[in-house]
Structure 1
Amino acid sequence: MQDLLLMSALLVPSRDAAPIEQAVIVTSARWDSRRATLRRFERTGQGWVRQGRAVRAWLGSNGFAPARTRRQNSGQTPAGVFDLPSAFGHGKSGSVSLPYHRITPRSYWPYDPRDPYTYNVLQTKRIKSARWRDDGQWSERLLDYGRAYRYAVVIGYNLPEAVYRGPAGQWRAARPARTHKGGGIFLHVSRHRPTAGCVAIPQRAMREVQRWLDPQANPHIVMGPEAVTRDWRKRLRATASSSSVS
Protein backbone atom coordinates (compact mmCIF):
# COMPACT_ATOMS: atom_id res chain seq x y z
CA MET A 1 0.00 0.00 0.00
CA GLN A 2 2.82 2.40 0.85
CA ASP A 3 4.37 1.91 -2.60
CA LEU A 4 1.00 2.53 -4.27
CA LEU A 5 0.60 5.82 -2.42
CA LEU A 6 4.16 6.81 -3.28
CA MET A 7 3.68 6.14 -6.98
CA SER A 8 0.46 8.12 -7.03
CA ALA A 9 2.15 11.13 -5.47
CA LEU A 10 5.32 10.78 -7.51
CA LEU A 11 3.88 10.48 -10.94
CA VAL A 12 0.61 12.38 -11.18
CA PRO A 13 0.72 15.77 -12.92
CA SER A 14 1.67 18.77 -10.80
CA ARG A 15 -1.24 20.54 -9.10
CA ASP A 16 -0.77 23.66 -11.20
CA ALA A 17 -4.05 25.20 -10.01
CA ALA A 18 -3.16 24.89 -6.33
CA PRO A 19 -1.35 27.82 -4.71
CA ILE A 20 2.31 27.28 -3.92
CA GLU A 21 2.81 27.71 -0.17
CA GLN A 22 6.40 26.44 0.08
CA ALA A 23 9.22 27.42 -2.27
CA VAL A 24 12.83 26.27 -2.47
CA ILE A 25 15.03 28.66 -4.48
CA VAL A 26 18.38 27.46 -5.87
CA THR A 27 20.41 30.27 -7.44
CA SER A 28 23.83 30.30 -9.12
CA ALA A 29 25.90 33.20 -10.40
CA ARG A 30 26.11 31.88 -13.99
CA TRP A 31 24.71 29.15 -16.19
CA ASP A 32 27.99 27.22 -16.01
CA SER A 33 28.46 27.54 -12.23
CA ARG A 34 28.86 24.34 -10.26
CA ARG A 35 27.94 26.01 -6.97
CA ALA A 36 24.68 27.65 -5.96
CA THR A 37 22.82 28.90 -2.90
CA LEU A 38 19.64 27.26 -1.64
CA ARG A 39 17.03 29.25 0.27
CA ARG A 40 13.55 28.20 1.30
CA PHE A 41 10.40 30.17 1.97
CA GLU A 42 6.89 29.62 3.27
CA ARG A 43 3.79 31.69 2.65
CA THR A 44 2.18 33.00 5.83
CA GLY A 45 -0.46 35.58 6.65
CA GLN A 46 2.30 38.18 6.51
CA GLY A 47 3.60 37.09 3.10
CA TRP A 48 6.61 34.99 2.18
CA VAL A 49 8.95 34.31 5.09
CA ARG A 50 12.39 32.77 4.83
CA GLN A 51 12.81 29.46 6.63
CA GLY A 52 16.19 28.60 8.12
CA ARG A 53 19.54 29.71 6.76
CA ALA A 54 20.78 29.87 3.21
CA VAL A 55 23.07 26.92 2.40
CA ARG A 56 25.63 26.28 -0.30
CA ALA A 57 24.71 23.66 -2.88
CA TRP A 58 26.47 21.63 -5.54
CA LEU A 59 25.02 21.45 -9.05
CA GLY A 60 25.83 19.32 -12.07
CA SER A 61 29.44 19.37 -13.27
CA ASN A 62 28.39 21.54 -16.24
CA GLY A 63 26.10 23.89 -14.32
CA PHE A 64 22.53 24.65 -15.34
CA ALA A 65 20.68 24.11 -18.63
CA PRO A 66 17.13 25.21 -19.46
CA ALA A 67 14.80 22.30 -18.77
CA ARG A 68 13.45 22.39 -22.33
CA THR A 69 16.92 21.79 -23.84
CA ARG A 70 18.57 19.69 -21.14
CA ARG A 71 19.76 16.27 -22.37
CA GLN A 72 20.64 12.97 -20.75
CA ASN A 73 24.27 12.56 -19.64
CA SER A 74 24.92 16.28 -20.09
CA GLY A 75 26.11 16.77 -16.51
CA GLN A 76 23.71 19.71 -16.25
CA THR A 77 21.04 20.54 -13.70
CA PRO A 78 17.68 21.46 -15.28
CA ALA A 79 16.70 25.10 -14.71
CA GLY A 80 13.04 25.89 -14.20
CA VAL A 81 10.17 25.49 -11.75
CA PHE A 82 9.32 21.96 -10.59
CA ASP A 83 7.15 20.33 -7.98
CA LEU A 84 8.58 18.20 -5.15
CA PRO A 85 6.27 15.19 -5.10
CA SER A 86 7.99 12.65 -2.85
CA ALA A 87 10.99 11.72 -0.75
CA PHE A 88 13.17 8.69 -0.16
CA GLY A 89 16.22 7.64 1.81
CA HIS A 90 17.73 5.23 4.31
CA GLY A 91 18.45 7.58 7.23
CA LYS A 92 16.20 8.23 10.20
CA SER A 93 13.27 9.80 8.37
CA GLY A 94 11.43 11.03 11.45
CA SER A 95 8.31 13.04 10.64
CA VAL A 96 8.41 13.22 6.84
CA SER A 97 5.10 14.45 5.40
CA LEU A 98 5.84 13.78 1.74
CA PRO A 99 5.08 10.31 0.41
CA TYR A 100 8.23 8.43 1.44
CA HIS A 101 10.07 5.35 0.18
CA ARG A 102 12.65 3.76 2.47
CA ILE A 103 15.20 2.40 0.05
CA THR A 104 16.35 -1.21 0.26
CA PRO A 105 18.90 -3.28 -1.68
CA ARG A 106 16.11 -3.84 -4.24
CA SER A 107 15.32 -0.15 -4.87
CA TYR A 108 16.29 1.11 -8.34
CA TRP A 109 15.80 4.22 -10.43
CA PRO A 110 16.19 3.35 -14.13
CA TYR A 111 16.56 5.81 -16.99
CA ASP A 112 17.39 3.46 -19.81
CA PRO A 113 16.09 4.70 -23.21
CA ARG A 114 15.68 1.16 -24.49
CA ASP A 115 12.75 0.73 -22.08
CA PRO A 116 10.71 3.96 -22.23
CA TYR A 117 7.93 2.55 -20.05
CA THR A 118 10.17 2.27 -16.98
CA TYR A 119 12.20 5.40 -17.73
CA ASN A 120 12.42 7.64 -14.66
CA VAL A 121 10.12 5.33 -12.69
CA LEU A 122 11.12 4.16 -9.21
CA GLN A 123 11.33 0.37 -9.06
CA THR A 124 10.99 -1.53 -5.80
CA LYS A 125 12.70 -4.57 -7.32
CA ARG A 126 14.31 -5.67 -10.57
CA ILE A 127 12.46 -8.50 -12.27
CA LYS A 128 14.24 -11.06 -14.47
CA SER A 129 12.46 -9.90 -17.62
CA ALA A 130 13.32 -6.22 -17.10
CA ARG A 131 14.65 -4.52 -20.25
CA TRP A 132 16.44 -1.72 -18.43
CA ARG A 133 20.09 -2.32 -17.74
CA ASP A 134 21.51 -2.70 -14.25
CA ASP A 135 25.04 -1.55 -15.04
CA GLY A 136 25.39 1.71 -13.12
CA GLN A 137 25.06 3.80 -16.28
CA TRP A 138 21.41 3.36 -17.21
CA SER A 139 19.97 2.87 -13.74
CA GLU A 140 20.79 3.62 -10.12
CA ARG A 141 20.67 1.05 -7.37
CA LEU A 142 19.80 3.67 -4.81
CA LEU A 143 21.47 2.11 -1.80
CA ASP A 144 24.82 2.09 -3.65
CA TYR A 145 24.94 5.89 -3.36
CA GLY A 146 25.44 5.72 0.39
CA ARG A 147 25.25 9.01 2.28
CA ALA A 148 24.12 10.91 -0.83
CA TYR A 149 20.71 9.25 -0.66
CA ARG A 150 20.43 9.08 3.10
CA TYR A 151 17.92 11.92 2.76
CA ALA A 152 16.56 12.82 -0.67
CA VAL A 153 13.60 14.49 -2.37
CA VAL A 154 12.45 13.84 -5.92
CA ILE A 155 12.49 16.90 -8.20
CA GLY A 156 9.59 16.78 -10.66
CA TYR A 157 11.68 17.03 -13.83
CA ASN A 158 10.67 14.85 -16.80
CA LEU A 159 8.53 12.51 -14.75
CA PRO A 160 6.12 10.15 -16.55
CA GLU A 161 2.39 9.92 -15.92
CA ALA A 162 -0.20 7.20 -15.43
CA VAL A 163 2.09 4.72 -13.71
CA TYR A 164 0.77 1.27 -12.88
CA ARG A 165 2.08 -2.00 -11.51
CA GLY A 166 2.77 -4.31 -14.42
CA PRO A 167 3.67 -8.00 -14.69
CA ALA A 168 5.74 -9.42 -11.83
CA GLY A 169 5.48 -6.16 -9.92
CA GLN A 170 7.40 -3.89 -12.28
CA TRP A 171 6.20 -0.28 -12.34
CA ARG A 172 5.45 1.08 -15.81
CA ALA A 173 4.15 4.34 -17.27
CA ALA A 174 1.30 4.52 -19.76
CA ARG A 175 2.58 8.00 -20.69
CA PRO A 176 6.37 7.73 -20.49
CA ALA A 177 8.88 10.45 -19.83
CA ARG A 178 11.00 11.79 -22.69
CA THR A 179 13.94 9.43 -22.90
CA HIS A 180 16.39 11.98 -24.34
CA LYS A 181 15.98 14.46 -21.49
CA GLY A 182 17.39 12.42 -18.62
CA GLY A 183 16.02 11.43 -15.26
CA GLY A 184 16.86 10.77 -11.65
CA ILE A 185 17.02 14.46 -10.70
CA PHE A 186 16.95 14.76 -6.92
CA LEU A 187 17.71 17.09 -4.05
CA HIS A 188 20.04 15.04 -1.86
CA VAL A 189 22.97 15.01 0.56
CA SER A 190 26.21 16.51 -0.72
CA ARG A 191 29.34 14.44 -1.31
CA HIS A 192 31.38 17.66 -1.58
CA ARG A 193 31.67 17.59 -5.34
CA PRO A 194 29.57 18.37 -8.43
CA THR A 195 26.71 16.02 -9.25
CA ALA A 196 25.51 14.40 -12.47
CA GLY A 197 22.60 16.86 -12.55
CA CYS A 198 21.07 16.82 -9.07
CA VAL A 199 21.22 19.49 -6.38
CA ALA A 200 23.19 18.48 -3.28
CA ILE A 201 23.39 20.20 0.11
CA PRO A 202 24.91 19.34 3.53
CA GLN A 203 23.28 16.45 5.34
CA ARG A 204 21.87 18.43 8.26
CA ALA A 205 20.24 20.92 5.90
CA MET A 206 18.91 18.14 3.66
CA ARG A 207 17.33 16.35 6.59
CA GLU A 208 15.71 19.60 7.70
CA VAL A 209 14.36 20.32 4.21
CA GLN A 210 12.96 16.80 3.87
CA ARG A 211 11.08 17.12 7.16
CA TRP A 212 9.89 20.68 6.41
CA LEU A 213 8.25 19.96 3.06
CA ASP A 214 4.49 19.54 3.30
CA PRO A 215 2.47 18.09 0.40
CA GLN A 216 -0.52 20.19 1.49
CA ALA A 217 1.59 23.30 0.80
CA ASN A 218 2.19 22.28 -2.85
CA PRO A 219 5.99 22.69 -2.52
CA HIS A 220 7.99 23.70 -5.58
CA ILE A 221 11.64 24.27 -6.35
CA VAL A 222 12.89 27.10 -8.56
CA MET A 223 16.36 26.50 -10.01
CA GLY A 224 18.61 28.53 -12.26
CA PRO A 225 21.11 31.38 -12.49
CA GLU A 226 20.25 34.74 -10.94
CA ALA A 227 18.56 36.04 -14.09
CA VAL A 228 16.08 33.14 -13.96
CA THR A 229 15.29 33.02 -10.26
CA ARG A 230 15.18 36.80 -9.80
CA ASP A 231 12.13 37.07 -12.03
CA TRP A 232 10.32 34.33 -10.15
CA ARG A 233 11.24 35.77 -6.77
CA LYS A 234 9.69 39.09 -7.74
CA ARG A 235 6.40 37.31 -8.29
CA LEU A 236 6.39 36.14 -4.68
CA ARG A 237 5.68 39.77 -3.72
CA ALA A 238 7.21 39.66 -0.27
CA THR A 239 5.53 42.13 2.05
CA ALA A 240 8.49 43.15 4.19
CA SER A 241 12.27 43.18 4.08
CA SER A 242 12.39 40.55 6.83
CA SER A 243 10.49 38.16 4.58
CA SER A 244 12.07 39.27 1.34
CA VAL A 245 12.79 36.58 -1.24
CA SER A 246 16.14 37.96 -2.36
Structure 2
Amino acid sequence: MIHRRTAVALLASPLLLTGCGGGAEATERRTPPTRPAPTATREIQAKQAAQGIPGLGPERSAAIPERCGQAVVVTGRGKNSPLCTVVLHQRTATGWQAGPAWPGHNALRGWSAHHVLGDLRSPLGVYTLSDAGGLLPDPGSKLPYHHSGGFHSPGTGFEGEPLEGCFDYVVAIDYNRRPGTSPLDWTRPLGPERGGGVWLHVDHGGPTHGCVSVAQAAMKELLCTLDPDRDPVVVMGHADWLSA
Protein backbone atom coordinates (compact mmCIF):
# COMPACT_ATOMS: atom_id res chain seq x y z
CA MET A 1 0.00 0.00 0.00
CA ILE A 2 1.62 3.24 -1.06
CA HIS A 3 0.60 5.86 1.52
CA ARG A 4 1.29 9.57 1.94
CA ARG A 5 4.16 8.92 4.31
CA THR A 6 4.59 5.31 3.48
CA ALA A 7 4.73 4.11 0.44
CA VAL A 8 2.53 -11.52 -0.34
CA ALA A 9 0.50 -16.70 -6.59
CA LEU A 10 -1.92 -18.83 -6.57
CA LEU A 11 0.14 -21.96 -6.20
CA ALA A 12 -2.19 -24.79 -7.23
CA SER A 13 -0.86 -28.27 -6.58
CA PRO A 14 -2.44 -30.57 -9.22
CA LEU A 15 -3.82 -33.82 -7.88
CA LEU A 16 -2.27 -36.76 -9.68
CA LEU A 17 -4.90 -39.42 -10.36
CA THR A 18 -3.85 -42.94 -11.25
CA GLY A 19 -6.28 -45.60 -12.50
CA CYS A 20 -6.07 -49.37 -11.95
CA GLY A 21 -6.77 -51.88 -14.72
CA GLY A 22 -9.46 -54.57 -14.23
CA GLY A 23 -10.84 -57.66 -15.96
CA ALA A 24 -8.82 -60.79 -16.76
CA GLU A 25 -5.51 -59.00 -16.33
CA ALA A 26 -6.33 -58.28 -12.73
CA THR A 27 -6.49 -62.01 -11.96
CA GLU A 28 -2.90 -62.61 -13.02
CA ARG A 29 -0.30 -63.15 -10.34
CA ARG A 30 1.96 -60.14 -10.08
CA THR A 31 5.27 -59.57 -8.42
CA PRO A 32 4.99 -56.81 -5.81
CA PRO A 33 6.87 -53.65 -6.85
CA THR A 34 10.28 -53.23 -5.36
CA ARG A 35 10.43 -50.35 -2.92
CA PRO A 36 13.57 -48.29 -2.71
CA ALA A 37 15.71 -48.73 0.34
CA PRO A 38 15.38 -45.99 2.97
CA THR A 39 18.77 -44.59 2.01
CA ALA A 40 17.76 -44.39 -1.66
CA THR A 41 14.50 -42.69 -0.66
CA ARG A 42 16.38 -40.06 1.29
CA GLU A 43 18.69 -39.46 -1.64
CA ILE A 44 15.71 -38.98 -3.97
CA GLN A 45 14.09 -36.54 -1.54
CA ALA A 46 17.33 -34.63 -1.16
CA LYS A 47 17.75 -34.37 -4.93
CA GLN A 48 14.20 -33.07 -5.32
CA ALA A 49 14.66 -30.53 -2.54
CA ALA A 50 17.93 -29.30 -4.00
CA GLN A 51 16.24 -28.46 -7.29
CA GLY A 52 15.10 -25.15 -5.88
CA ILE A 53 11.91 -23.33 -5.09
CA PRO A 54 8.83 -24.63 -6.96
CA GLY A 55 7.49 -22.14 -9.47
CA LEU A 56 10.75 -20.27 -9.95
CA GLY A 57 12.56 -20.63 -13.25
CA PRO A 58 16.34 -20.47 -13.70
CA GLU A 59 16.47 -16.70 -14.14
CA ARG A 60 14.53 -15.92 -10.97
CA SER A 61 16.33 -18.61 -8.98
CA ALA A 62 19.67 -17.19 -10.07
CA ALA A 63 18.63 -13.76 -8.77
CA ILE A 64 18.41 -15.09 -5.21
CA PRO A 65 21.77 -14.47 -3.54
CA GLU A 66 23.68 -17.60 -2.50
CA ARG A 67 23.92 -16.29 1.05
CA CYS A 68 20.10 -15.99 1.29
CA GLY A 69 18.52 -18.51 3.67
CA GLN A 70 14.93 -17.25 3.59
CA ALA A 71 12.81 -16.30 0.57
CA VAL A 72 9.25 -15.00 0.69
CA VAL A 73 7.73 -15.93 -2.69
CA VAL A 74 4.73 -13.88 -3.78
CA THR A 75 3.00 -15.54 -6.74
CA GLY A 76 0.40 -13.42 -8.49
CA ARG A 77 -2.55 -15.02 -10.26
CA GLY A 78 -1.87 -13.03 -13.43
CA LYS A 79 -0.11 -9.98 -14.81
CA ASN A 80 -3.16 -7.79 -14.22
CA SER A 81 -4.62 -9.57 -11.18
CA PRO A 82 -4.61 -8.24 -7.60
CA LEU A 83 -4.70 -11.76 -6.12
CA CYS A 84 -1.64 -13.66 -4.98
CA THR A 85 -0.31 -16.39 -2.70
CA VAL A 86 2.55 -15.87 -0.27
CA VAL A 87 4.89 -18.66 0.89
CA LEU A 88 7.98 -18.43 3.09
CA HIS A 89 10.72 -20.81 1.92
CA GLN A 90 13.71 -21.61 4.13
CA ARG A 91 16.98 -23.06 2.88
CA THR A 92 18.11 -26.29 4.57
CA ALA A 93 21.07 -28.63 4.11
CA THR A 94 19.08 -30.50 1.42
CA GLY A 95 17.36 -27.59 -0.28
CA TRP A 96 14.41 -25.27 0.22
CA GLN A 97 11.49 -26.09 2.52
CA ALA A 98 8.15 -24.35 2.04
CA GLY A 99 5.91 -23.10 4.80
CA PRO A 100 2.15 -22.54 4.63
CA ALA A 101 0.57 -20.89 1.59
CA TRP A 102 -1.19 -17.69 2.57
CA PRO A 103 -3.73 -15.99 0.28
CA GLY A 104 -3.09 -12.31 -0.21
CA HIS A 105 -3.45 -9.23 -2.36
CA ASN A 106 -1.10 -7.17 -4.47
CA ALA A 107 -1.78 -3.97 -6.38
CA LEU A 108 -5.13 -3.27 -8.03
CA ARG A 109 -3.81 -3.48 -11.62
CA GLY A 110 -1.34 -6.32 -11.04
CA TRP A 111 2.38 -6.08 -11.77
CA SER A 112 4.93 -3.90 -13.50
CA ALA A 113 8.57 -4.31 -14.55
CA HIS A 114 8.93 -0.52 -14.30
CA HIS A 115 6.85 0.59 -11.35
CA VAL A 116 6.10 4.30 -11.15
CA LEU A 117 4.20 6.36 -8.63
CA GLY A 118 0.45 5.98 -9.03
CA ASP A 119 0.41 3.15 -11.60
CA LEU A 120 -1.41 0.88 -9.12
CA ARG A 121 0.92 -2.01 -9.93
CA SER A 122 3.34 -3.91 -7.69
CA PRO A 123 6.99 -3.98 -8.76
CA LEU A 124 8.30 -7.26 -10.18
CA GLY A 125 11.61 -8.34 -8.72
CA VAL A 126 13.78 -9.85 -6.02
CA TYR A 127 14.29 -7.48 -3.09
CA THR A 128 15.96 -7.71 0.29
CA LEU A 129 13.95 -7.44 3.51
CA SER A 130 15.77 -5.36 6.08
CA ASP A 131 13.35 -3.50 8.33
CA ALA A 132 9.95 -3.84 9.97
CA GLY A 133 7.54 -1.83 12.06
CA GLY A 134 3.92 -1.20 12.84
CA LEU A 135 1.23 0.48 14.82
CA LEU A 136 1.20 -2.41 17.31
CA PRO A 137 4.08 -3.18 19.68
CA ASP A 138 6.89 -5.45 18.54
CA PRO A 139 5.54 -9.07 18.53
CA GLY A 140 9.06 -10.48 18.70
CA SER A 141 10.48 -9.39 15.37
CA LYS A 142 14.01 -10.45 14.48
CA LEU A 143 14.22 -7.64 11.96
CA PRO A 144 14.69 -4.14 13.42
CA TYR A 145 11.19 -3.05 14.46
CA HIS A 146 9.99 0.55 14.41
CA HIS A 147 6.91 1.04 16.61
CA SER A 148 5.14 4.28 15.70
CA GLY A 149 1.77 5.98 15.52
CA GLY A 150 2.82 7.01 12.02
CA PHE A 151 1.55 3.62 10.80
CA HIS A 152 -2.04 4.79 11.30
CA SER A 153 -4.05 3.98 8.14
CA PRO A 154 -7.43 5.76 7.92
CA GLY A 155 -9.83 5.67 5.00
CA THR A 156 -11.19 2.91 2.78
CA GLY A 157 -9.76 0.66 0.07
CA PHE A 158 -10.74 0.17 -3.56
CA GLU A 159 -13.67 -2.08 -2.61
CA GLY A 160 -14.88 0.15 0.21
CA GLU A 161 -13.19 -1.92 2.91
CA PRO A 162 -11.75 -0.08 5.93
CA LEU A 163 -7.99 0.30 5.94
CA GLU A 164 -7.70 0.71 9.68
CA GLY A 165 -5.23 -1.80 11.08
CA CYS A 166 -3.55 -2.76 7.81
CA PHE A 167 -0.28 -1.24 9.02
CA ASP A 168 -0.44 -2.90 12.44
CA TYR A 169 2.53 -4.99 11.21
CA VAL A 170 4.68 -4.23 8.18
CA VAL A 171 7.91 -5.45 6.62
CA ALA A 172 9.53 -2.97 4.27
CA ILE A 173 10.40 -4.31 0.81
CA ASP A 174 13.69 -2.78 -0.23
CA TYR A 175 12.36 -1.28 -3.45
CA ASN A 176 13.43 2.33 -3.91
CA ARG A 177 14.26 2.81 -0.25
CA ARG A 178 17.28 3.00 2.01
CA PRO A 179 17.77 -0.27 3.94
CA GLY A 180 18.52 0.12 7.62
CA THR A 181 15.90 2.81 8.19
CA SER A 182 12.30 2.85 9.41
CA PRO A 183 9.72 1.75 6.82
CA LEU A 184 8.39 5.28 7.23
CA ASP A 185 11.60 6.81 5.88
CA TRP A 186 10.92 8.83 2.73
CA THR A 187 14.32 8.44 1.07
CA ARG A 188 13.82 7.37 -2.58
CA PRO A 189 17.18 6.52 -4.24
CA LEU A 190 15.54 6.12 -7.69
CA GLY A 191 13.62 9.35 -7.29
CA PRO A 192 10.07 9.99 -6.04
CA GLU A 193 8.56 9.32 -9.47
CA ARG A 194 9.48 5.62 -9.12
CA GLY A 195 7.24 5.25 -6.08
CA GLY A 196 8.21 3.69 -2.78
CA GLY A 197 6.85 2.57 0.55
CA VAL A 198 6.19 -0.92 -0.87
CA TRP A 199 5.57 -3.20 2.08
CA LEU A 200 4.35 -6.58 3.22
CA HIS A 201 1.46 -5.65 5.52
CA VAL A 202 -1.80 -6.83 7.07
CA ASP A 203 -4.52 -7.62 4.52
CA HIS A 204 -7.56 -5.37 4.53
CA GLY A 205 -9.66 -7.53 2.18
CA GLY A 206 -8.94 -5.83 -1.13
CA PRO A 207 -6.27 -4.74 -3.61
CA THR A 208 -3.40 -2.49 -2.61
CA HIS A 209 -1.70 0.46 -4.26
CA GLY A 210 1.55 -1.47 -4.69
CA CYS A 211 2.15 -3.48 -1.55
CA VAL A 212 1.56 -7.17 -0.77
CA SER A 213 -0.85 -8.02 2.04
CA VAL A 214 -1.61 -11.18 4.05
CA ALA A 215 -3.64 -11.93 7.18
CA GLN A 216 -2.42 -10.51 10.47
CA ALA A 217 -1.46 -13.95 11.83
CA ALA A 218 0.71 -14.53 8.75
CA MET A 219 2.38 -11.16 9.15
CA LYS A 220 3.11 -11.91 12.79
CA GLU A 221 4.67 -15.26 11.79
CA LEU A 222 6.81 -13.55 9.19
CA LEU A 223 8.01 -10.98 11.68
CA CYS A 224 8.95 -13.65 14.19
CA THR A 225 10.70 -15.83 11.56
CA LEU A 226 12.53 -13.55 9.15
CA ASP A 227 16.09 -13.31 10.41
CA PRO A 228 18.55 -10.66 9.23
CA ASP A 229 21.37 -13.17 9.82
CA ARG A 230 19.82 -15.31 7.04
CA ASP A 231 19.64 -12.44 4.54
CA PRO A 232 15.91 -12.74 3.70
CA VAL A 233 14.51 -11.64 0.35
CA VAL A 234 11.11 -11.40 -1.30
CA VAL A 235 10.63 -12.78 -4.82
CA MET A 236 7.48 -11.21 -6.20
CA GLY A 237 5.57 -11.28 -9.46
CA HIS A 238 2.90 -13.08 -11.48
CA ALA A 239 3.36 -16.80 -12.08
CA ASP A 240 4.49 -16.50 -15.72
CA TRP A 241 7.22 -14.03 -14.80
CA LEU A 242 8.40 -16.10 -11.84
CA SER A 243 8.74 -19.21 -14.01
CA ALA A 244 11.27 -17.58 -16.34
Q: TM-score range, shorter-chain basis?
A: 0.5 to 0.7
Q: Secondary structure at the match of 1:207?
A: helix
Find the counterpart in structure 2 of residue 13 from structure 1.
none
Structure 1 counterpart of 2:71, one-letter code: A
Alignment of 1:74-113 (within 5 A): 74-104=119-149, 107=150
Shift of 1:94: 2.5
* Identity across matched positions, percent: 31
Work out the CA distance in 1 between the residues paired with 2:172 and 2:218: 16
For the Cα contact (< 8 Å) 1:161–1:177, is it kept in 2? no
Measured against aligned partners, the alpha-carbon deviations of 1:92-135 in whole angstroms (never above 9, x if no partner) come to 4222110110012xx3xxxxxxxxxxxxxxxxxxxxxxxxxxxx
Alignment RMSD: 2.2
Question: Which TM-score applies when normalising by structure 1?
Answer: 0.64
2:162 is the alignment partner of 1:144? no
Structure 1 residues 161 and 59: alpha-carbon distance in aligned structure 2, compared to 1, 3 A threshold: closer
Give the paired residue count: 169
2:84 is the alignment partner of 1:36? yes
For the Cα contact (< 8 Å) 2:131–2:179, is it kept in 1? no
2:41 is the alignment partner of 1:23? no
2:226 is the alignment partner of 1:208? no
Work out the CA distance in 1 between the residues paired with 2:223 and 2:65: 24
For the Cα contact (< 8 Å) 1:25–1:229, is it kept in 2? no
For the Cα contact (< 8 Å) 1:91–1:150, is it kept in 2? yes
Gaps of 5+ in 2: 1-63, 155-163
Shift of 1:48: 0.6
Find the counterpart in structure 1 of residue 106 from structure 2.
59
Structure 1 counterpart of 2:98, one-letter code: R
Larger Rg, first or second structure (1 or 2): 2
Work out the CA distance in 1 between the residues paired with 2:97 and 2:83: 24
Gaps of 5+ in 1: 1-15, 108-141, 164-170, 232-246
Shift of 1:181: 0.6
For the Cα contact (< 8 Å) 1:18–1:218, is it kept in 2? no
2:190 to 177, 194, 216: 177
Work out the CA distance in 1 between the residues paired with 2:101 and 2:179: 33
Q: Secondary structure at the match of 1:95?
A: coil
Alignment of 1:158-177 (within 5 A): 158-160=176-178, 176-177=189-190
Work out the CA distance in 1 between the residues paired with 2:180 and 2:201: 26
